[in-house]
Structure formats: C-alpha cells, structure tokens
Amino acid sequence: MPTEVIIIIFAILVLLIIASCVRIVPQANAFILERLGGYQATWDVGLHVKLPLIDRVAKRVLLKEQVVDFAPQSVITKDNVTMKIDTVVYFQITDPKLYTYGVDNPLLAIENLTATTLRNIIGDLELDETLTSREHINSRMRLILDEATDPWGIKITRIELKNIIPPAAIQDAMEKQMKAERERREAILIAEGQKKSAILVAEGNKESAILNAQGEKESAILRAEAKKEAMIREAEGEAEAIFQVQKARAEGIKFLKEADPTAEILQLRSMEAFEKAADGKATKIIIPSEIQGIAGLAKSMVEVIKE
C-alpha cells in the first residue's frame, strides 16, 4: 500500500476521533462525563471536548420541567371504601449528578413513592373528606415527595389528583344524593318565588286599598264642601228673602204712614182682608160683631205709627 494512502487513512481516523471527542450541549440539557468509569464533570450548555478512549458521556439529562401521568392506584379510605385515584406529577431535575447516581430508575421510584404516600394520606380521611379535600391532599403529597426526592436531585413542583373513581355503588348513591339535593334546591326556589309573589300581591292590595281610601276621603270632602256651599247659598237666599220681605213691610208701613188713611178706609181694608180670608174652600166665616172695634184698633195703630 502506498505511503500516501496510509497517511490519508490515518488523517481521516484522527479527524474522526477528534470529531467524536467534541460535544455540543444544547439548551436545557446537561451531560454527565465519566473518566475511566468514574464521575468526572457535568457539562452545561456549550462546546466541550473529552479525551478519546478515556472519557465518555454517561448520561444526558433533560433540565426542563417534566410531567408524568401515573396509572390509577387502589386506595382505602378511613371508612373502608376502596377507590382508585390516578395522579399527575410535575417535577424538574435540579442536580444532574444526583439524578444520575442517586437512584436507579428515578421515574419508577417516584411512581412507587407517590402510590405509598397517597395510600397513607387517604387512609386518614373518610370518603367525603377525600372527595372535598383535593387541594389538601395535593399539598401534603407535594411536601412529602419533594423532601424524599431531594437526595435524587429532583424537585417536585406540583401534584394533582387527576381522577377519583369510587365504586359503582358509591357513585350511584352519590348521584341519588345529588339529585335529591337539586330537587330540594328547586323546591326552595319555588317556595321563595311563591313567597315573593304573595308579598308583592299583598303590597299591591295594600296600595290599592290606600288609594281607594284616599279617593273615598277626597270624594267625601268634596261632597261635604258641595253640601256646605249649597247650605250657605240656601241660607243666603233665605236671608235675602227675609230681608226683602221686611224691607217691603217697612216700605208698606212707611207708605201707610205717609198716606194718613181715615177710619173709613181702615174699615174698608179690614173688610177686604176678611174677604180674602173667606176666598177659599170654607163655606162659613164668622165676622165679629164689634167690627167697629177692630177698625178703631186699626186707627189707633195708624196714630201710633204717625207719632
């Protein structure tokens, strides 16, 4: 083989070896470097070079926050109800070295730790408390798991109970209870509506009665004022009539006084007065025998008027 070919092959091999020793660590990743089987360094983001045949990249670690959805776990409540609960765990690797050498199969370790912790917490709670205490269960599990996974270089950021699946009989009883509760609330709402309607009707009747009473009162006042006005006008008319009669009598007396009648005229007027008295349905009239005395009495009245 020619020397030039050997040199070219050797150069290619050297270039391949050098290229294999150069590593670029991408963002949100870390590389664990081992030298002769032992931990050597943790490579962060950037360009790195290792020694050929001596150093090797033992593990690539993802530093992003990760989500793991574990299968449903069977748990027993304090009141001996068996149910299944599946959890979702959010975690982030904070120390690539501890994550690599701290525990074998970290995800399996987290799953088993989550299952045992969940059983311990649910075992202290009754069924109703389990269904209404999701936030409390999530918080307790996160604290316990976060403390347990610190030696593994893992940070538990959040834990959520995805589903709580009680037995079919319990689900049926819960649905009946919810149905009864909805019917009770519906009955309460109907009763409150009827109550409000009755109150509004009563208030409307009250307002109507008040308006009717006010109308009757105003009507009575108007009738009383009209009656009062009529009585006043009637009284004024009677007073005016009396005044006119008295005025006519006074004028008649005055006229009689000015006329200075004789005794014969007075006797004649007396006879005319008796004639008017007899002008009616009466068939008899008694004339006093002393008609001249009456005439004399009239004459005396005239004289008194003259004086």
pLDDT by residue (tens digit) across 115-156? 999 999 999 888 888 888 889 999 999 999 999 999 999 999
Q: What is the pLDDT of residue 256?
A: 62
- Which residue would you say has higher pLDDT here, 253 or 134? 134
What integer pLDDT is reported at residue 108 of this predicted model? 92
Q: Is the pLDDT of residue 259 over 90?
A: no
Higher pLDDT, 289 or 4: 4
d(C-alpha 131, C-alpha 182), whole Å? 19
Residue pair 107/69 in contact (Cβ under 8 Å)? The answer is no
Q: Which two tokens stand for residue 141?
A: 């599990």
Span 264-304, pLDDT tens digits: 565 655 555 555 555 555 455 555 555 455 445 444 544 54
| The pTM of the whole model exceeds 0.85 | no
Q: What are the pLDDT digits (tens) for 184-241?
A: 888 898 898 889 988 988 888 888 888 888 888 888 888 888 888 888 888 888 888 8
At residue 252, the pLDDT reads 67
Cα atoms in the Cβ-side hemisphere of radius 13 Å centred on 305 = 18
Residues 56-108 pLDDT 10s: 999 999 999 999 999 888 898 888 888 899 899 999 999 999 999 988 899 99
**pLDDT tier, 306 (very low <50, low <70, confident <90, very high otherwise):** very low
